[in-house]
Structure formats: C-alpha cells, structure tokens
Amino acid sequence: RVRVRVRVRVRVRGPGCGARLGTSRRAPRRGLGAPQGLAMAAAAPRRAIFTEAQLRQFQRSTAHRAIVELVKEGARAIRGVSGEPGTIPVPPVVARLKEAFAVFDGWIDDIPPINQPMRFGNRAFVDWHRRLMSDGPALISHAIHVGLAEASAAASPTGSPGGGGGGSGGGGGSDVDVDRFRLADDGGSGYIEESCAYLFQCFGHPGRIDYGTGHETSFVMWWLCLREAGALTENDTAAFVLEIFGKAYLGVTRRLQMVYMLEPAGSHGVWGLDDFHCLPFLWGAAQLCEDLSEQRTGV
C-alpha cells in the first residue's frame, strides 16, 4: 500500500499584505497606486529596502505593480506617435510643468562648471542641485496650480475657473482639490513636498555627482505621485511622456551630464545601450512599433 500524506499550510496576513490560503496566487488589483478604499496621506519618503528579502517583498507590492503599470501605460499611450509638434494636444498642467523644467535648464547657464582637474564630477553640480531643492518645490506647485486653473477654465461653460468638469486631456480631474498642491508652509497637505523628494533624486546624486537608471526611475516615481494626487490623469500620459520626459527632462539631464561631467552610475560599458538611460529606448521603441516598414534615419 502507498500512503499519501497531505499537509495544508494556512497563512493569514494583514489586509494591507493580502491573505493566502494554501496557495501563492493573488487576485490582481486593477489600476494604479493605493488599493481601492485605502486612505492616502502625504508622507516624506524614507528608505525601507535594506535586504534581499525586503527587495523581494517590494517586488510583490502594490507600489511595484503601480510603477510597472505606469511605464507600460506610457508605452501604450505613444505607440506609433511621432511626437512632432501638433501631433497630440498638450494639457495645461503638462505645458506649465514643461516651463518649470525650462527654468531648471536655465540654472545650468547661471551656474557654470568650476575650473578643476577632473575626469568626472564637476562640483558646480552641487550648487545646481542645491538650487533645485530650494526653489524647485515652489516652481512645481505654481505650475500645477496654474495648469489646473487653466484646465478648469477651459472646461467651464462660462470660461471661468471652477465651472465644471476637467474634460479629456485637461490635466487633473474636476473634483481635484487644488489647495492640496500648495506648499506645506502655505497651508498645503504635503503632496508637493512628498513628490519633490523624488524630483530631487531624478537629476543625479549631489554627493557622488553621478547619474544612472535609478535616478531615471525616481522620475517615474515623481510622475506616479502626481498621478495619485490627481494633478495628472491617464488622458495626459502621451503628452507627459513626449513633452515632459522626452523633451524637458531628457533635455535637462543630458545638459547636466555634459556640462558637469556626471559619472555614469552602474554603467555596463559596451554591453549597455546607454551609460545613463533606459526608458528612452523602451518608449522610443513603442513609438516605432507601428511603423516598422518605414526606414528611420534617426535611429
């Protein structure tokens, strides 16, 4: 006779982590960000991954899924879209954020590189980054405020702010509390400070004076924060990827890398597509995938 022993393991976790009953399968969660019904509150980001086990836990988390889904959403939104001027509508919030990045770019002219012996890492980048931390949050707050007001006015039947829904591609939703995007010192709820913690990280490290794909990922986290707070919606995705990431953000980061000679962080040399970036190749491939028969001289 063959005796078969069956052992059933039951593990129950808290509601934030999900529950398991003899299986490792989890029900998929729709949408981005926090689970439905979970209250959101602004909080200063802090490092929470110190071990490989914590990394694996993060890779199973809602936040990780939200990041991956947002990157995929960006690729879907610009599939076959050239990005030439006039190709897609630019919502007011996106246009105002692009103006803020133009200010960031202008600071490079205001803070020239220091004459120092070096291969990488001009110390003038530290001064540029210090200005980003001091003046950046106010610029982003102003851009979102003005952009949401313009979107609301455009959607209003009377043409005045507060008159109605946000409309497709208007930037944010009609029920967005604009005051939440004020700075905390000005009565805001801390959303700007939380999101800007990622913005500070997405241009490079002021201590090491380097830049890599981890900083690029911080840009995606900044975008995710704005999405979760309601400053941007899915209707704005194509414009955000092409105008903010493709033109404004990459324009600033490329200048920082060249002017201040930022060291590549984690470069794989000839085995890597680029010393600094990854997303331009992913999202650029999405733009080309609908038009593979046409010869692209710029590739």
pLDDT tens-digit profile of 48-94? Answer: 899 999 999 999 999 999 999 999 999 999 998 887 888 899 999 99
> Measured at the alpha carbon of residue 184, what is the angle toward residues 178 and 185, in degrees to the nearest 5?
120
Give one word for 84, left, alpha or beta, with left for phi > 0 and alpha for psi -120 to 50: beta
Contact by Cβ (8 Å): 93, 171: yes
Residue 210, strand partner residues: 205, 263
Give the tokens for residue 261. Answer: 């000679």
Give the tokens for residue 240. Answer: 């955000």
Top-confidence range, 166-170, 185-189, 280-284? 280-284
Question: How confident is the model at residue 215, as a pLDDT?
Answer: 92
Is a pLDDT exceeding 90 seen at residue 273? no
d(CA 41, CA 26): 26
Q: Which residues of 105-139 are buried (b: 16+ CB within 10 A; e: fewer)?
A: eebbeebebeeeeeeebbebbebbbeebeeebbeb
d(CA 148, CA 142): 10
Give the tokens for residue 168. Answer: 């497709």
* 296 pLDDT tier (thresholds 50, 70, 90): low
Say which residue, 197 or 191, is predicted with more confidence.
Answer: 197
Question: How confident is the model at residue 185, as a pLDDT?
Answer: 82
Residues 6+ apart with CB under 8 A from 110: none
Residues 6+ apart with CB under 8 A from 299: 288
> Measured at the alpha carbon of residue 126, what is the angle toward residues 227 and 276, in degrees to the nearest 5?
60
Q: Model confidence over 18-51: pLDDT tens digits?
A: 333 233 333 433 345 444 433 456 777 888 899 9
